[in-house]
């Protein structure tokens, strides 16, 4: 069967996306997280100087692997260019783009209240991987090499981890990022990729909060315990709560609970499970007794929830109002700076 419609159906994150292209790279069977590259050193900093970017939303680019890669940055009011500022890097889902994720999550609005930076990287499209120029935002083939997921970036084994390294280095020339308080989140394919960063860039990201995206099924060996807050709906028919192998040309992935349990084991969590949140259809449970104690692995389950961002002000799919994924992720991040 033709690949495009199935991929478009499976990973569509908003109405109005165009159909997939006719040409896709041939499937490959690399390991879940690719071949990990050595982590770059991330020195601490007490202050910054000479940085000129101010409050507002900025669109910047950086060259990586011979391609111009784009990312959007939201800088809150009251930002001080001399002081290291907490930073949340948010990865869009397959077929989406930074502008859509910004609206979907409301993270920029939350950042204005809480005083953190938000970075929205843009994944590569099939057209770019085939040597063409960046397509319009409505193109529905942009994605991340998240291991088991998704699309042409995964099939072509794009070095998206290397892109994140290059982007963060470029970001440091514009704004004053706090290296100890840099976090990652993402939706769907972006959730898979944020899990991958927890495995391969534990020295960069203090904690991660995937939404509707799973951990690698093997090959995860972080350099330090990384706290994880995983948010998922039980009726998600795109990325199945109980795990599965329904991703076209992808690979099998674990359940939400097994994803979190695996991270708990890596974090040495030997204590009892503890309920940390309950409202309506949404409940969060944490594995405790971790090393360090703050390296909890938590699962927030939305009973009856589907493939959407909980608490979103704009998402289709009737997102729950019993859990605000953006706010809960930020609360989780606040108490978990990198040691």
Confidence of residue 189 (pLDDT cuts 50, 70, 90): very high
Say whether the peptide bond before residue 150 is cis (omega within 30 degrees of 0). Answer: yes
Whole-prediction pTM:
0.91
Which H or E run contains 332? helix 325-334
Instruction: Kindly state the DSSP code that residue 19 receives in the 8-state scheme.
Output: P
Q: For the stretch 169-197, what's the b/e string if a residue is b when 16 or more beta carbons lie within 10 angstroms of its beta carbon?
A: ebbeebbbbbbebbbbbbbbbbbbbbbbb
β-pair partners for 91: 186
Residue 23 confidence (pLDDT): 36
β-pair partners for 120: 72
Selected residue with higher pLDDT from 27 and 16: 27
In the chain, helix, strand, coil percent, each to 5?
25, 20, 55
Residue 100 confidence (pLDDT): 96
β-pair partners for 225: none
Residue 17 confidence (pLDDT): 29
What digits encode the pLDDT tens for the residues 47-105? Answer: 999 998 999 999 999 999 999 999 999 999 999 999 999 999 999 999 999 999 999 99
* Separation in Å, CA 68 to CA 156, 192, 212, 311: 17, 23, 28, 33
What digits encode the pLDDT tens for the residues 305-315? Answer: 999 999 998 87
Residue 36 confidence (pLDDT): 63
The set of residues, in sequence order, having a beta carbon less than 8 Å from that of 119 and lying 6+ positions away, is 71, 72, 73, 87, 88, 89, 90, 167, 171
Rounded to whole angstroms, the Cα distance separating 317 from 276 reads: 26
Rounded to whole angstroms, the Cα distance separating 107 from 250 reads: 29
Confidence of residue 292 (pLDDT cuts 50, 70, 90): very high
- What is the residue-averaged pLDDT of the chain? 90
Confidence of residue 9 (pLDDT cuts 50, 70, 90): very low
């Amino acid at each position: 069967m033709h690949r495009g419609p199935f991929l478009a159906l499976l990973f569509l994150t908003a109405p109005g996306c165009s159909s997939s292209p006719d040409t896709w790279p041939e499937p490959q069977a690399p390991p879940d997280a690719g071949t990990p590259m050595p982590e770059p050193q991330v020195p601490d900093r007490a202050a910054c100087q000479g940085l000129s970017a101010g409050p507002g939303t900025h669109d910047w680019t950086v060259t990586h692997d011979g391609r111009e890669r784009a990312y959007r940055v939201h800088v809150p009011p009251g930002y001080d260019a001399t002081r290291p500022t907490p930073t949340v890097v948010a990865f869009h889902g397959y077929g989406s783009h930074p502008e859509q994720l910004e609206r979907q999550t409301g993270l920029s609005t939350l950042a204005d209240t809480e005083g953190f930076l938000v970075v929205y990287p843009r994944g590569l499209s099939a057209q770019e991987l085939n040597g063409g120029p960046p397509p319009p935002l409505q193109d529905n083939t942009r994605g991340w090499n998240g291991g088991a997921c998704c699309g042409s970036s995964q099939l072509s084994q794009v070095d998206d981890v290397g892109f994140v390294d290059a982007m963060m280095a470029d970001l440091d020339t514009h704004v004053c990022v706090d290296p100890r308080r840099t976090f990652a989140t993402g939706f769907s394919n972006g959730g898979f990729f944020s899990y991958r960063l927890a495995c391969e860039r534990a020295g960069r990201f203090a904690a991660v909060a995937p939404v509707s995206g799973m951990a690698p099924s093997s090959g995860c060996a972080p350099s330090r315990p990384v706290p994880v807050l995983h948010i998922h709906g039980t009726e998600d028919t795109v990325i199945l709560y109980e795990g599965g192998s329904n991703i076209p040309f992808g690979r099998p992935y674990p359940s939400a609970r097994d994803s979190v349990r695996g991270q708990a084991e890596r974090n040495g969590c030997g204590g009892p499970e503890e309920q940390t949140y309950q409202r309506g259809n949404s409940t969060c449970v944490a594995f405790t007794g971790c090393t360090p104690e703050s390296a909890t692995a938590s699962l927030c389950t939305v009973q009856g929830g589907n493939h959407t961002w909980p608490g979103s002000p704009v998402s289709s799919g009737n997102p729950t109002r019993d859990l605000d994924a953006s706010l809960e992720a930020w609360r989780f991040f606040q108490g978990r700076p990198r040691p």
